[in-house]
Chains A and B, each alone.
Chain A
Amino acid sequence: MAVAVDVSRFENVSMAPPDPILGVSEAFKADTDATKLNLGVGAYRTEDLQPYVLKVVNKAEQLMLERGENKEYLPIEGLAAFNKATAELLLGADNPVIKNGQIATVQGLSGTGSLRLGAAFIARYFPGVKVLISSPTWGNHKNILSDAGVPWSEYRYFDPQTVGLDFKGMIEDIKAAPNGSVILLHGCAHNPTGIDPTPEQWEAIADVLEEKGHMPFFDVAYQGFASGSLDDDASSVRKFASRGFEMFVAQSYSKNLGLYAERIGAINVILPTADLAARVKSQLKRLARPMYSNPPVHGARIVANVVGDSVLFDEWRAEMQMMAGRIKGVRQKLYEALLSKDKSGKDWSFILKQIGMFSFTGLTKSQSDNMTDKWHVYMTKDGRISLAGLNLAKCDYLADAIIDSYYNVK
């Protein structure tokens, strides 16, 4: 006997706004103009502006297929071989922290999921402690912290005058925070600005954290992708570890191994003792279990296979260098195009100084809107362009668009 349909409990649910980053790709897809350029989401593209699956990934997947491995649940903390490999990649295999078992590593759902586990841990075990995030930072950082119930505030980072680091402001704001806060730092290739502290600045930042009893929380989403060298890109994290900091480090293999879709990363916590590491790891598991029970196996196996085979590992390094090299190449070409078209003497060299996938152009929201509306160049409204989506052939066009937006739109 059918009964009349009830009004849904969720009738008052309104439409959520489009995600500022992922929504850009959706808008790009809907655009039919032939000149359109997607400089929105940070996913690597080849010179032909095609997505790129690394050859080592295809090889690893082929190996996995041939071996016909089973699909059993991973433990809550993830694939052991992956966890070992990822901690060693981060710190170096002979790092005392690793040798002494002073690190808790739990496989996470790429960078996002790893950050979320860290944030959830902070909410549960350091209640009331605030996390400071850079201004600007990746848009999802504040959502992660908010949904985890962690209070957050910002420290100055980007200086629009120099289109560089506001180091003085950064240090001031970190000093002004209550002792024992958590400071979210980008290990390399800051997103969205591309501006990283120099080694000397990193030391000074470490000094302040030490003085204030702050805990660093590193977001490492671009190791190997920024400079092309895994070790160089980990130098900030390694420096802090060697200075004895207890800290969180979130890792992602989305960009450096091109494994965007398979959601593979890790949350690491570096601690004074192995006993503490075991305790913290057990509590991270308790946070993961009611979120997704145990992490997906596919991406973890790929990473473990690539890192575990010296031939594949070397090939991976070469592919990373290729990707990083292509981005450096388009930075150079874009810079030259801007220099040749803009005779005002404006200093565009920040394009070369910034590092990694992104460039913070300094364009305002209305200028960014002009980029999209007039030039069909898709980017996020904070002025960030993803150089991974740019090729040499489009540098001239992009330079025209930037110059027009910068000078003709207020």
Chain B
Amino acid sequence: MASGLVRNGAKRFMSTAAAPASSVPAGARSGWWEAVQPAARDPILGVTEAFLADSDPKKVNVGVGAYRNDEGKPVVLECVRKAEQIIAGKQNMEYLPMGGLVKFNDLSVKLAYGDTAPVLEEKRVAAVQTLSGTGACRLFADFQKRFKPDSRIYIPVPTWANHHNIWRDARVEAHTFRYYKPSTRGLDFEGLMEDLKKAPEGSFVLLHACAHNPTGVDPTADQWKEMSQLFKSNGLFPFFDMAYQGFASGDTVRDAQAIRIFMEDGHQLACAQSFAKNMGLYGQRVGCLSVVCDNSQQAVNVKSQLQQIARPMYSNPPLHGAQIVTTVLSDPELKEQWYKEVKVMADRIIGMREALKSNLEKLGSSLPWKHITEQIGMFCYSGLTEDQVDRLTKEFHIYMTRNGRISMAGVTTGNVEYLANAIHEVTK
């Protein structure tokens, strides 16, 4: 572009000799945008973009964590379809309150904390409907910045990539703690405890309630209890990101055990819930942020402040998805059906884990693969290197994130052999 650009902060004109397309009148200005570089593709969502652009018939998408049935097709749950029929023709398109649909919030927190949890009966939980799990995390991060501006967030290594983006854009100082141990492809519990012991009092700690993303490695109940004690003695705040309740083991109560353990120890925790996976409502963006408080007045205060953050971001959350969840969870039959459908999804994934492992063993792979069935939830942290992942994509048209994370939801009886073969090829 022409060098006529003046960057003294006063005028922002580029020489009109540099004006491009002829349809742009000569009076056009420029010079505003030179700092704007093309952004790198999102490491997760960019995988699907690349997959869609690939025309090879053998292509396999084990990138983004969206459930697929054994035909490799997206699934809309039956209970959800029924709920949509029930709410069809709704004559209500009015703005939700800033904090979202009240009934939805009530049902969400019951799911997370238990129907008869004391904190719920005492009305000590501030809960707001959010734009799925991302929105819940962001709302909390902004809230943390606003009310505890000097506090830190501790984030496990590795984690869902967007966690870092969220707390960074919220301008919260982020630190990390060890989590995954490559040599065992399991939890680095000693490293975790060591690192969190060093966290200053008043720090916030991001924990995956179940089905850790991307590793699939979860602490045991005893390990959660030990962590809970440490948080108590060192004054650390537990923030749970629960994106897979029901989806990990097939049992919603079991998958929330970490939260229940911390609650029993009297922690004032917060939780981000997502209904993207466990109810298959990905595109509807339904989630809930809850914060446990001292008493009901404080819960009212905290909720009002969360709403203050939501208002200049999106004013109020979208209705449709929240209505679906509310309909399903408040109808005993639909709720039962949901429990069954979630178990079917969880079981299929567990089955695919077994199939992938046994295929690799059959191929005579010398590497250890037991972590495939020991890890839990949607993802398998394969241990593949970036180069190996790139080879899988280039040579076999298999798409996954470059950290070697395989979305088991994308594995089917139709492609598991092909996948095992390809992995064997790049690792032998």
Please give the residue numbers on chain A whose beta carbons come within 8 Å of chain B beta carbons, in ascending order: 1-16, 19, 22, 41, 43, 51, 53, 57-58, 61-62, 65, 68, 70-76, 96-97, 99-100, 102, 109-110, 112-113, 116, 125-126, 128, 140, 143-144, 146-148, 178-180, 210, 213, 215, 242-246, 254, 258-263, 271-273, 276, 278-280, 282-283, 285-287, 289-299
Contact = CB atoms under 8 A, between A and B. Distances in A.
B92 A53 contact: yes
A140 B284 contact: no
B155 to A, nearest CB: 13
A53 B168 contact: no
Contacts of A126: 32
Interface string B263-277: 011111000000010
B314 A112 contact: yes
Nearest to B12: A180
Interface of B: 9-13, 19-21, 23-30, 32-33, 35-39, 42, 45, 49, 64, 66, 74-76, 80-81, 84-85, 88-98, 131-132, 134-135, 138, 142, 147-148, 162, 165-166, 168-170, 202, 229, 232, 235, 237, 264-268, 276, 280-285, 291-294, 298, 300-302, 304-305, 307-309, 311-321
A345 B96 CA distance: 43
A197 B208 CA distance: 53
Given A6-B232, A244-B24, 17 more contacts: A5-B268, A6-B268, A8-B293, A8-B294, A11-B298, A12-B147, A15-B304, A22-B316, A43-B95, A71-B74, A71-B284, A112-B314, A125-B33, A213-B29, A261-B96, A286-B42, A290-B170
Contact of B81 (A10, A68, A75, A279): A68
B282 to A, nearest CB: 5
Contacts, number: 292
A279 B93 CA distance: 35
5 A-B pairs closest in CB distance: A297-B283, A292-B131, A261-B319, A109-B314, A244-B28
Given A53-B93, A116-B314, A10 B36 contact: no
Contacts of A74: 283
B320 A296 contact: yes
A283 B24 CA distance: 23
B134 to A, nearest CB: 4
10 contacts: A11-B294, A51-B92, A53-B91, A71-B282, A73-B45, A112-B312, A263-B318, A279-B39, A291-B169, A293-B131
Contacts of B13: 213
B93 A262 contact: yes
A140 B312 contact: yes
Nearest to B265: A3
Contact of B38 (A2, A72, A278): A278
Nearest to B295: A8
Given A9-B148, A289-B165, A271 B33 contact: yes
B95 to A, nearest CB: 5
A295 B285 contact: yes
Contacts of B307: 16, 19
